[in-house]
Structures are given as structure tokens and as C-alpha cells.
Amino acid sequence: MIPFLDLNQVNAPYLQAIEDASLRVIRSGWYILGNELNSFEKAFAEYCETEHCIGVANGLDAITLILLALDLPADAEIIVPANTYIASVLPVSYLHLKPVFVEPDPHTMLIDPARIEQAITPATKAIITVDLYGRSCEIAAIVDLGRKYKLKVITDAAQAHGATHTGRKVGAWADATAFSFYPTKNLGALGDAGAITTGDAALAEKIRYLRNYGSVIRYQNEYQGVNSRLDEMQAAILGVKLPYLDAENTRRREIAARYLRELQCSDLMLPPGDRIDEDAWHLFVVRHPRRAELVAYLEARGVQTNVHYPQPIHKQLAYKEFKDLHLPLTEQIHEQVISLPLNPVITDDEVAYIIQTVNQFDRQ
């Protein structure tokens, strides 16, 4: 079986360095808010070509903390992509703000700036964009919309470490960008971890307080904060892996380019290939009208696939208040998407086998 993703293999090249870093942390006797976090925050801000990085406990908290720091009025409308993972939207409703779902561009499957503009009302206060599957959304146009309508722009780049838009890193565009370092991500920890990048010094400072009970000096609390810190162990491990992120993304781009060149199967829709070198290719998401058949066919031939995602947010029980909302583009995407294996450790032979097998699907 070709696994969708084997994390043992992904981390194998770094095992010795991870063991050394972990031992260093264990022996330091300092496990929360220390030197490992400081140096990772500095390195990740530099990597994202921005001023500030604040390490937090996970990607969901990163989005929540940005919204909390922006201190938006209750019932403010927040524009969110209809096609995304639920974690992009949960912070909005958790903070009693109103998510306004916007359909994607049918080709890129990412939030469509023209549709965002149509959804803006006097109650709109922010736009959350998502660089889903590893490709940057149309962030330049969305930042312009933010300026035009005086809205905050937040990017969820949980799937897009290392992606760029017109040559500039995601993480440097929006008012603030949220990252997840969940183990399967392009930059993955060995546990939960996340970060926020921003060029806004005041926002960065407030988030630094908020992630630590609203405090930066022990027992002095300026805000009603939360406990959401990126611990020293995960920061040290991320510090080991960050220098290799670009090389891993280059390998992802090679595989994506080959899939785009060689996959030929009728009714199979490929992801856009116009920005291969800007995309971080977290996932290689194709579409097929007979998804269940294709998934079973590949499984029977030893290729493990995945579906990102099977059910749209507005059709989840958790969001039953939106159950009558009809978002046809998003709903069709959720019925058709399949993620093929794409990761830095898959071999050329495995890629060749996947291509050959997919291409024979309609010739069986």
C-alpha cells in the first residue's frame, strides 16, 4: 500500500537532530515561554518575511487569538470561505461573531474576491481568507478590498507554509496570518503547535499578552487572556525542521508538476497549474464525478487517498443554523474532491505507479 502520508518517514531524516533538541529542552529545566520559543519565533518571522511571530498552542487558537485581539463588536459579520476546514470558521462563532460564507472560484476552489465584495455589508468587520491545499488565495486583491472597505484581513495559512503570492510569502500579506504546525502540515511539530505572523507591532504585543492569561509580567494581567502557548519542546523541534521546509516544498512542487503533466483520465479535474512554484502543495486535490468508485479502485490497487473534505461546514450538525443555506459550488466540490498522495518522502516510482493506475481508471 502506498500510504497517504507516513509521518515516521517524514520525520526520519531529522530524528537525530530532534532527539538532540529534545534532550536539550529536557535538561534545560525550562519548558514554557523560553529561549527555544524566542528563537523559533524570530526564525519563523524571518522566514515569512515579516516582523513578528507569536507561537501559540495550535492553528485553531491562532485564528481565535487574532480575532480576540482585534476586539470586534458583538455580532460583527466576518466573511469566511465556504470551502475550507471547519477550524477556519469555529473561532468566529466561538467569539459570537457571525460567519458569512462566500463561495469559491470554481477552478482554484479558493475564496473568490468578486464574491467577497458582493457579501460586504455595513456590519462586515473582517475577512478570513484560507490558503487551502497550500495555494495562496488572491490575497493582493483581498487586501485591497480590506483597505477599500476598512476591514481587517486575516489569513488562515495552516496548509501553506512557504507558499508565496506574487513572490511575497503568505504570512506577510494580511493584517495577521495564522499557522498550524499539526504533525501532518508542511512544517509539522510532533504534537500540537501554531503561530501568528503579523507586521503590526501593537497587534503582536496584544496577542503575546492574550496567549498567556493576558499577561507578560508574572501576576500582572492587562487583559482577560487564555492559555495558548507553544511549548519549548515543540518550538525546539520546529526549529530543527524549519531550515528544510523549502527543500521539502521544492520536492512537493516536482511531484505536483509531474502529476499535472502526466495525469490523463477523462472526467478527472486537476488543480490549477498556473502557479506551481508559488503553491506549497500541502495537498494535491483532484475532482471526479464518480469519487467513491475512484477511491475504491485506488484502494484496491494499493493507493491510499483522502478526502479534504467530505462535508461542507454549512451542512455539519455543528452549524445546523445554516442547514437551509445552498452553496452549490462548495457542495459540488465536497462531493467530488479526492486528495492523491503528495508528500516529500513519496518516491518517483510510487508517483509513476499512482499516475499509471489513475490513468487506467476509465479504461478498465
Nearest-CB residue to ligand PLP? 59
> What count of residues does the chain have?
364
User: Between residues 21 and 56, which has the closer beta carbon with respect to ligand PLP?
Assistant: 56
The grid cell for 334 is: 465536497
By CB under 6 A, is residue 65 in contact with ligand PLP? no
By CB under 6 A, is residue 171 in contact with ligand PLP? no
243's CB contacts (< 8 A; 6+ apart) are: none
- Least distance from ligand PLP to the Cβ atom of residue 191, Å: 10
| Residue of 87, 139, 153, 355 interacting with ligand PLP (CB under 6 A) | 87
By CB under 6 A, is residue 170 in contact with ligand PLP? no
- Looking at residues 179 to 238 of the shown chain, list those that interact with ligand PLP (rule: CB under 6 A): 180, 182, 192, 194
Q: Is 320 a catalytic residue?
A: no
- Per CB under 6 A, the segment of 70-78, 155-163, 206-214, 271-279 that binds ligand PLP is 155-163
- Per CB under 6 A, the segment of 2-10, 14-22, 55-63, 255-263 that binds ligand PLP is 55-63
CA 236/CA 18 separation, integer angstroms: 8
By CB under 6 A, is residue 129 in contact with ligand PLP? no
By CB under 6 A, is residue 355 in contact with ligand PLP? no
By CB under 6 A, is residue 101 in contact with ligand PLP? no
72's CB contacts (< 8 A; 6+ apart) are: 78, 95, 97, 125, 126, 152
User: Between residues 159 and 197, which has the closer beta carbon with respect to ligand PLP?
Assistant: 159
Do residues 99 and 90 lie in contact, with contact meaning Cβ atoms separated by under 8 Å?
A: no
By CB under 6 A, is residue 134 in contact with ligand PLP? no
Residue among 340, 362, 364 nearest 353 (CA): 340
- Least distance from ligand PLP to the Cβ atom of residue 184, Å: 8
Question: In degrees rounded to 5, what are phi and psi of residue 300?
Answer: -65, -25
Any idea which residue has 505572523 for its cell?
A: 197
User: Between residues 195 and 240, which has the closer beta carbon with respect to ligand PLP?
Assistant: 195
- Per CB under 6 A, the segment of 81-89, 165-173, 207-215, 318-326 that binds ligand PLP is 81-89
How many residues in the shown chain lie near ligand PLP by CB under 6 A? 15
Of 125, 152, 185, 241, the active-site residue reads 185
By CB under 6 A, is residue 104 in contact with ligand PLP? no
User: Between residues 59 and 104, which has the closer beta carbon with respect to ligand PLP?
Assistant: 59
Q: Where do contacts with ligand PLP occur on this chain (CB under 6 A)? A: 58-60, 84-85, 87-88, 130, 156, 158-159, 180, 182, 192, 194
Catalytic residues: 185
